[in-house]
Each structure stands twice: as structure tokens, then as C-alpha cells.
Structure 1
Amino acid sequence: MNNEILFKPNGLILATSNNTITSSEYKLYDTLLQRCQITKDSNWRKAEITRDEIQGLIKDKSKNNLNDLKKVLENFMNVKIRFKLGTKHVGATLLAEYVYDENTDVFSCSMSENVFTALMTYNEIGYSPIDLKMVRQARGFYTQKIYGLLRLWSRHNETINKTYTVEVIKDICDIFDGTAYDMYGNFKKKVLVPALKEINEKLNMKVEYKEIKKIRRVQEIEFIFTDYEPRKYDFEKDKLIEPKEVIGLDEVAITKDDIDSIDYMYLLDFKLNESIHTQFIKDFYNFKEHSISVQTASEKTLSALGGKTINKRNYKYFKTTLENLIPSIDINL
């Protein structure tokens, strides 16, 4: 059974930092996030990991003795990140502190308070599930970063088009102004193309891209991708929980007795009239990952247009509002 799924808050996927870490260190950090998420220790916000486990992730054998591993964690304590937690703009460090126990050979790593809050409230603020075992096959740091960006928007077995500006991708990949990869030619050759090649080969996703030029310069990248990786998991059976709405959705009526992935009362809480439930779930099948945004979009629509519920008359306005509110869009930290 694969129990190494990190329900990574979208804010952390979109986080920007003041310093870069290596590909191996990024895998270690995601592992710590997942351990913290399943441990749920609100007192110490801790994630425990053995020295052997860290050494298994840090591939450079010349830099994985005990003192080197301490330096890696101390570097995490010095890397500052900025991300969004709902409507709040947060500044934090990757790690707050660590304790190494000589008797057990175990590191106890404590997360920053707001990082821990994001991990515990992922279902409210929006998240994207990451299969850590699979992603560890990837060698590249930028592979992991761009894969996360695509997982924000993916739907299981569906082809999606998503456009990001080049500057946004650079920010998320921790490529700083004036550095070698800041030049688009180098960025394309050393970051974008190798990352997409590795995603296609190792991460259960097929992705292509198109360059979008404005004023004779490439300013945006359109990704066209199909994600074959599940977004919902049954951990007891280690298989995908398939939502019924992906097949023949237009002909399916959503009722109180419908499948678990569609909560009838949950939709009513958002003031969504039953007449648009089917269309809403078709447009936003993973709406529970963006519940705060759905609530806000509903409130904004009713405030602007009046009425008591979201219905066929105001649905277009509501849909556009929600698309502009989903956390993965707003990255201006």
C-alpha cells in the first residue's frame, strides 16, 4: 500500500523563497511535510525521520555524514519562503528547528507554525496530492517544481490547457533575476525542456508546451497535459476513488444519495441551487480542494447581482469569479 501521499497545500506549491535547495533536499523537505501532516502533532509540529532515511534521499555520499545532514536541516531553517494561507500572506522558514537523538538515531523536525497550519487545513485552502514515491524517481529540482504547478490544475485522465507567464514559472522555480537561467534561452534549454522530458518519462503525465510571444518575446508558456495519476485515494485498498461524474456527467442528476465525492449538503452550503449542481461539478469536480474560494465566489456573485442562490441566470458570473479566485491563480505574494 502506498501511504506516502502528500496532500500539499497549493500555497506551498506556489511558495517563493530567498534561496535555492537541491533536488534531493526538496525531496527530503516534501517527505518531512508528509510526515508532519500524518503525525498531526499540534504541540511540536514535528516530523520524525531516521538518519538512514535522510541518507537514502541525499544521494551525494560525500555529503551525507551526520554533520552534513545537520547542515542540510540548518539550511532549511535559514531558507525563507512566502506563500498564501487562504487570504493571508505568510512569511516563514522551511523549518523551525530540529532535535537529533543519539540513542534512537532519529531527527525530530519542527515546522514553522504557519506551514503546519497549511498542512492541517489543506482541504479548506486547496491542495494537490503528490505521490512522493513516484516523484523520487525524478532527478531534477525543476522537474518537481513544474510537476507541482501542473498538478494544481490536472484532472485524472483529462487533457488540460494551462498558461503561465515565464516570470511566474521562474519565481516558483526559485530562478532569481540576473542569474544564468534568468535568460529565456538558458531557461528553455536548462530548465523547461529537461523538466518536461523527465515528467513525460517518469511522472505518469504527458505534457507538451507552446511558446506565446508578445512584442517578439516569449512571455508565456501554454502547457497541454494529461495526468494519469489519481487525485483521490483509498488508502486501505490503495486505489483511486473514481468519481462517477467523469462519465456521462451531462445526463446524471446529482441527488442526496449520490457518490461520496459529491456532497449534496456541501453544495447547498455554498448556496448553489440544485438546478446547476451537475454543471458545477462538471466544471469544478475537485471543488472541495477550493472550498474557501467557492464560498467567496458565491458571496461575491450574490452581492453583485442580488438573489439568494447561485442558479442558471447568474452561474456564468459565478463561474468566472471562481476561476479568478482559486488559490493556485493568485500568486502575487
Structure 2
Amino acid sequence: MSKNLSKQDQRILMKDNLLVKTKYELTLAENRLYNLILYKFQKEGQVLKCTLSQKEIKEVVKFNDKTTIKGIGELLDNLSIKKIWIEEKKSNGLSKWHKYNLLNGCTYDEEFKTFEIEATGFIYELIKKKFSNGGYTPNNLNIFLTLGNYYAQRLYELLRLWSNTKTTINYSVEELKSLLMVEEKYPLYGDFKRRVIVPAVKNLNKSKAFEVDFREIKEGRKVESIDFIVKDLDKRKYFEKDTLTQVIDINENKEKDLVKEEFYIPDETLFAKGTKRSFKLDFADINFKDKYMLKAFNKAVMITLDRENAEIIKSNSYDFFKSTLENKIKEYKTEYELDKKHQEELDIFWNN
């Protein structure tokens, strides 16, 4: 299915595995929109935010009553209210449970018919860090968003979590019910199978991205777990290591060339005469024309001026400004590396 799409048309959401094995319950429309939002968070450079037009949302959600401005607003309201439970395993085998709203909120712009959506911080960090130390699951949104069953969407992720290394994937009935939050809705296994498992498997097979069958594992007469026999027909290879290394080297050389340019001060009026000279000497190797370094500069200035209740940075506040800026530069360099690596992998993925 994905072979016919150009790299530009591909939409791959790399989900930290902590975000795959989570507990939440949404409708099909809500889950389509939520995963589009996660993809936009991952793709765009805005900190904690992304912007979606009504047109973009219509193309994904597809239900007419849900894609009016009012309908989209209601979907976003629900995502701002509903909770997600994220389990993080500790080294001693016990768990830490993180509980957050799926979204923090949104702003609607009537002029442009766009929604600026704000992420929950913890979820945003999981989305942005996904390449830092592995442990992610690739979701092909060109497949995921066409699935016509919410439970098929969830099962898609839970199977893709293991389908790169296993052809038989086992989940206990208890765990599946817990992750889907249907323990009370379908307490009887027969109802759970009929309402959740069978329709989800049927929908996955219909997508042509999987060949899935399942068998029940019983203890006595009780079904304790389910073996999913899976053939994942979608590619999982997103980049060639040698190619990625070459791209990184080229970009690093470009950064070195930028440093050689004349030193740029974003706003010279913020400094007294002496502190401006110190700033030039201390940060001569930083290119403040770069958007990440400019963010670091603006953040450090804001913190310093607020702390000192001043309008310029004088000698008595320069040391504080310097240490604050050094810390912010480290933070935004980390953010830049993650964004760069993410973009490079998305640009080079799906090599034939």
C-alpha cells in the first residue's frame, strides 16, 4: 500500500513505546484527530504547540458532523478533558503511572480557520525524544487513519510494537481490556471477543497492511490470553545508516560555516556598553541568527530582566544572564538535535 506514495506523501508517526502501551478510551473520530495532532507536534518546530487548519482536520476525521468548526471544537474539548494513563517500568520491576489530559488546550483563529493546539508537556516530551535511545513504534498514518474501527487502530499499534521481531504476539485478556479500558463495558469474554477482537482483526485484514489471525489460549475452560498470528505487510525501514551519517556531516559543516560570519546580537539595546562587549567575547561561537539559539537568547533575557526588574542587562546582572543563557543554549541544542534527526529520518525513510 505504501509503495505507491512518494516520500513527501508519507506520514509516519514515531511513537515512543510508552505511548503505545497506554490506557485511554476515545471515539474513532477523536483518535484520528489525536494521532494527527501527535504527528504535527513531532513534525513542526513549535515548542509545545502545532497548528491545524479546518481543511487538514476534515481530510482525516471525515465525519461531516465532526468537521464543522463547532464539531472540531467539541472533539478538541473532549481531548482536553479525557485522561491517558502511561506506565513507566522502574528498575526494581515496579511501575510509575503518569496520568495526564491528552491535550492542554487550544486556540481558534476565526480569520484563518485554524486551531493552535497546545500539548501536555509530558506527552510532548515523549513525542519529541523518540529517537534519542530507541524504543519506538512506527505508525504509518496513511494506513492508521483509514482504519474504520477504533479498536483496530489500537490493535494496529499494539501489534506493530512487536511485529518487527515476532510473528506470534500474545496479550492476556486482562491486559487488553485494561489498555482499552473496557473492563466494565465488556466483563464477559464472549462480549469482548464479539465487540472488540473480531471487528478489529477484520478491519486490519481489510486494510491490506496486515494478515492477522488469532487463537485463544485457555486455562481450563477460561480464555486467559490471545495469540495474534501476524504478518506485517508494511515496511518498517526508514533510513540507511550510511546515508543518514552523510546528511548529518553535511549539516554540521554548514553550522561551522555559519560561525565564521560576523557576530550577530539580536537586540543591542538590551546591553550596557560593558556587558555588550562581554557578551560578544563569551558567546562568539554562537550563531544567534539560528532560530533555536534565538529562542535561548530571548528566554535568558526574559528571565534576567524579570528577576532584576530592569530594562537592560547591566554589570551587576550579567553573570546571572550568562549562566542562564548557557543553560538555555544547552536545552535548545538538545531540542535542535532531536528535531534534526527526526526530520532527516523522515526525509530518508522508506528506501526501496
| TM-score computed with the length of structure 2 as normaliser | 0.62
Post-superposition shift, 1:86?
Answer: 6.8
In structure 1, list runs of 5 or more residues that go unmatched.
Answer: 235-240, 242-257, 263-333
Aligned AA for 1:162?
A: I
| TM-score computed with the length of structure 1 as normaliser | 0.65
Identity over the aligned pairs, expressed in percent? 29
Residues 167 and 27 of structure 1, relative CA distance in 2, 3 Å threshold: same
Please say if 1:170 is aligned against 2:173: no
> How far apart in 2 are the matches of 1:40 and 1:167?
39
Aligned AA for 2:110?
A: E
Query: Secondary structure at the residue paired with 1:122?
Result: coil
Match in the other structure for 1:4: 11
Match in the other structure for 2:288: none
Post-superposition shift, 1:260?
Answer: 7.2
Aligned AA for 1:141?
A: Y
Match in the other structure for 2:60: 57
Q: Which has the higher helix share?
A: 2
Highest Rg: 1 or 2? 2
Please say if 1:115 is aligned against 2:120: no
Instruction: Please show how residues 94-243 of structure 1 align to structure 2 within 5 Å.
Output: 94-123=102-131, 124=133, 126-155=135-164, 160-177=167-184, 179=185, 181-234=186-239, 241=240
Match in the other structure for 1:74: 77
Question: What are the Cα deviations for residues 148-184 of structure 1, in whole angstroms up to 9, with x where unaligned?
Answer: 10000012xx76112110111112223132x2x3321
How many residue pairs match? The answer is: 232
Match in the other structure for 2:265: none
Question: What are the Cα deviations for residues 230-257 of structure 1, in whole angstroms up to 9, with x where unaligned?
Answer: 22224xxxxxx5xxxxxxxxxxxxxxxx
Post-superposition shift, 1:130?
Answer: 0.5
Match of 1:83 among 60, 82, 86: 86
Contact 2:51–2:116, Cα closer than 8 Å, also in 1: yes
Post-superposition shift, 1:25?
Answer: 1.5
Contact 1:39–1:47, Cα closer than 8 Å, also in 2: yes
Post-superposition shift, 1:261?
Answer: 9.5
In structure 2, list runs of 5 or more residues that go unmatched.
Answer: 1-5, 91-95, 246-352
> How far apart in 1 are the matches of 2:226 and 2:70?
42
Question: What are the Cα deviations for residues 88-127 of structure 1, in whole angstroms up to 9, with x where unaligned?
Answer: 5321111001011112111111110000110011122611
Please say if 1:41 is aligned against 2:50: no
Contact 1:211–1:221, Cα closer than 8 Å, also in 2: yes
> How far apart in 2 are the matches of 1:191 and 1:7?
25
Aligned AA for 2:170?
A: T
Query: Secondary structure at the residue paired with 2:87?
Result: strand
Question: What are the Cα deviations for residues 306-325 of structure 1, in whole angstroms up to 9, with x where unaligned?
Answer: xxxxxxxxxxxxxxxxxxxx
Aligned AA for 1:33?
A: L
Query: Secondary structure at the residue paired with 1:233?
Result: coil
> How far apart in 2 are the matches of 1:261 and 1:210?
41
